[in-house]
Amino acid sequence: MNYDLLKLAAGSLSTVGLYTILYRENKFYRYCEHIYIGIAVGYSMVAIWTETLHDLWWVRMTGTSGTPTTPGTNGVWAWMLLLPIGLLGYTVFSRKYNWMSRVPIGMIIGFSAGQTIQLWFNQYGPQIVDSMRPVLPTTNAFFVPDISKLSPADAVKVQSMVYGSQAINNLLFVITIVAVLCYFLFSFEMKSKALRGATTIGRWLLMVGFGAIFGSTVAMRFTLVIDRMYFVFIEFLKQGILHR
């Protein structure tokens, strides 16, 4: 048995072993799970150095020697200070000095909090601005014309107008946002029939949205299953065994 067939057999056996969890918890699944976790940890340790520490820390600290076509760069010694700070994180395993691990943990939490706020605004800020859409058409035309054959100036003019079809879509969009926000009003009792109706509509719209998300998740899982079964039945059984 050559190496390629042995590799295919190991991959197929691991795939079947991991999917045995669908039947019940068993030792074969545990064995394959531990192998997967071990490989993932080993790969992560190598990837941390090759994809992160080497380029973002080691090269910046030591500099590059350069090539005949690319000039080298001088290193910055201040990057060396990150090494003892990072090593302080391992003092968490010491009962006497575990308080020192709070220094890098606090720095990581602080930097991560600031970066998270920035990422949150960059992701949701444009969505908040985009939620304020016009609901009244600015032209008598209902459908948006094709702008592929128009000049850039005319295309900009067409895109600046609100057509009938766009107005309807924008109105449905605004109604959805308002109804969903009404559903999360828990600070007071809803005595108004209009507000209770908006809350009910918002709950149904949320259910539709969650259903679509669940459907896409299931479709993605089926895509993964199909890919792995193709590996087992086609690449391993048909091409790896039957064609030999």
In the chain, the percentage of residues whose pLDDT exceeds 90 is: 39
Q: Dihedral (C-alpha) 26, 28, 33, 35: value to the nearest 10 degrees? A: 160
State how many domains the chain has: 1
Question: Which pLDDT does position 151 carry in this prediction?
Answer: 86
Question: Which pLDDT does position 231 carry in this prediction?
Answer: 86
Q: Name beta bridge partners: 48.
A: none
Residue 111 is assigned to a structural domain of this protein: no
Asked whether residue 85 carries a pLDDT value surpassing 80, the answer given is yes
Q: Does 148 or 214 have the greater pLDDT score?
A: 214
> In the predicted model, what is the mean pLDDT of residues 78-91?
89
Asked whether residue 217 carries a pLDDT value surpassing 90, the answer given is yes
Question: Which pLDDT does position 207 carry in this prediction?
Answer: 94
Residue 21 is assigned to a structural domain of this protein: no
Full residue range of the structural domain in which residue 176 is found: 133-244
pLDDT in tens, 9-34: 888 888 888 889 888 889 999 999 99
pLDDT in tens, 117-173: 999 999 999 988 888 888 889 888 888 888 888 888 888 888 888 999 999 999 999
Whether the CA torsion 49, 52, 53, 59 is positive or negative: it is: positive
Residue 83 is assigned to a structural domain of this protein: no
Residue 64 is assigned to a structural domain of this protein: no
Residue 14 is assigned to a structural domain of this protein: no
Residue 210 banded pLDDT, cuts 50, 70, 90: very high
Residue 154 is assigned to a structural domain of this protein: yes
Residue 30 is assigned to a structural domain of this protein: no
Q: Name beta bridge partners: 74.
A: 63
Question: Which pLDDT does position 34 carry in this prediction?
Answer: 93
Mean pLDDT of the chain: 87
Residue 195 banded pLDDT, cuts 50, 70, 90: confident
- Alpha helix positions (H), 88-192: 102-130, 152-159, 164-183
C-alpha–C-alpha distance, residues 11 and 21, integer Å: 17
pLDDT in tens, 92-103: 888 888 999 999
Residue 59 is assigned to a structural domain of this protein: no
